[in-house]
Amino acid sequence: MFPTPIQKSSPISRYGYNLVLPIALVLWLLPLLGVALTSVRPPSDLAAGNYFGIPSGFAGVQNYTAVFENSPLGWYILNSFKITIPTVIGAVALSCLTGFALATYKFKGNLVLFFLFVAGNFIPFQILMVPVRDMTLKMGLYDTVTGLVLFHVAFQTGFCTLFMRNFIKGLPFALIESARVEGVSEWRIFRYIVLPLMRPAIAALSVLVFTFVWNDYFWATVLVQGQSAMPVTAGLYSLNGQWVAAWNLVSAGSIVAALPPVAMFFLMQRHFIAGLTLGATKG
């Protein structure tokens, strides 16, 4: 193990390490802690210039209710869910099929197609912006949840296919081979042999796509204009303009907006990290 396990070093450095660890954590999360603290601050504190001291009282309940009652934040969050959940289902389902096809069939252009997906994953959004916006307008889906979902599904499929294909490649191919010899149809192989084995990959991808789509801001500004379909990221930014200097409200709003992906992360941590670090361990 590297670096040397701290248990093997002198007691002083062991205590030192245990002491430094929480300090480092607090420093690392300082911006976040500031926001959390501000979100429970009464507005009078801010007016008095007490930005970083101890809050003079606990106004968390007030601030958070104010955020939901006086602004469409709740609506924005609902929109975010309406965009994110169908995207996760759509992209994951599609990529199970494409990943299976790319991993198990040898056909001409297999690698080309695969790398097309990989490259598509890395291109700048801006090159897609004008045509996609135009197309969405023409289909009458501008400013709707469906328009955003369609685009996200298409784009995320690139990443998901890359992920699924590599995952299926890692499964024992002999399993599929022997099923074929037995005369099992391709669809049944996929349904009864591969799909059950893909469960961990599906879980990992769902969490990742959920986070990516939830946190998307660029497409939310490009494909949506009004309140009706605006997700929480873009919504929060526009609210920030309205709540000038009402930092307690901005902070409370930020925390609410950040909560779903954070909850997702803590609930599914193992899958989340497995997904993100795919390829970081073996070549």
Partner 1 sequence: MFLVYVVAPIFQSVWISFHDWDGVGAKTWIGLANYQELLGDEAFYTSLQNNVIWLVLYLLAIPCGLAVALFLNQTVTGIRLYKSLFFFPFVISQVVVGLIFTWFYAPNFGLFSVLLKDLTGLDFAVLADERFVTYGIIVAGLWPQTAYCMILYLTGLNNINPEQVEAARMDGAKGWSLLKNIILPQLAPATFIAMVVTVIGALRSFDLVSIMTAGGPYGSSRVLSYYMYEEALSEYGYRMGYGAAIAVVLFLIMMVFITLFIVRMLGQERNN
Q: Find the binding residues for partner 1 in span 93-122 (CB under 8 A).
A: 94, 111, 115-120, 122
| Comparison of 43 and 120: residue with beta carbon closer to partner 1 | 120
Q: How far is the CB of 70 from partner 1 (least distance, A)?
A: 18
Could you say whether residue 266 binds partner 1 (CB under 8 A)? yes
Q: Give the binding-site size for partner 1 (rule: CB under 8 A).
A: 83
Q: Find the binding residues for partner 1 in span 67-86 (CB under 8 A).
A: none
| Comparison of 59 and 149: residue with beta carbon closer to partner 1 | 149
- Applying CB under 8 A, among 68, 75, 81, 265 the residue interacting with partner 1 is 265
Q: Find the binding residues for partner 1 in span 25-54 (CB under 8 A).
A: 25, 28-32, 34-35, 38, 49, 51-52
> Per-residue b/e over 145-168, b at no fewer than 16 CB within 10 Å?
bebbbbbbbbbbbbbbbbbbbbbb
| Comparison of 104 and 233: residue with beta carbon closer to partner 1 | 233
Is 208 within 8 Å of 278 (Cβ atoms)?
no
- Site map for partner 1, 148-167, x if CB under 8 A? --xx-xxx-xx--x------
Q: Find the binding residues for partner 1 in span 177-206 (CB under 8 A).
A: none
| Comparison of 18 and 185: residue with beta carbon closer to partner 1 | 18
Q: How far is the CB of 185 from partner 1 (least distance, A)?
A: 25
| Comparison of 117 and 190: residue with beta carbon closer to partner 1 | 117
- Applying CB under 8 A, among 123, 175, 195, 267 the residue interacting with partner 1 is 123
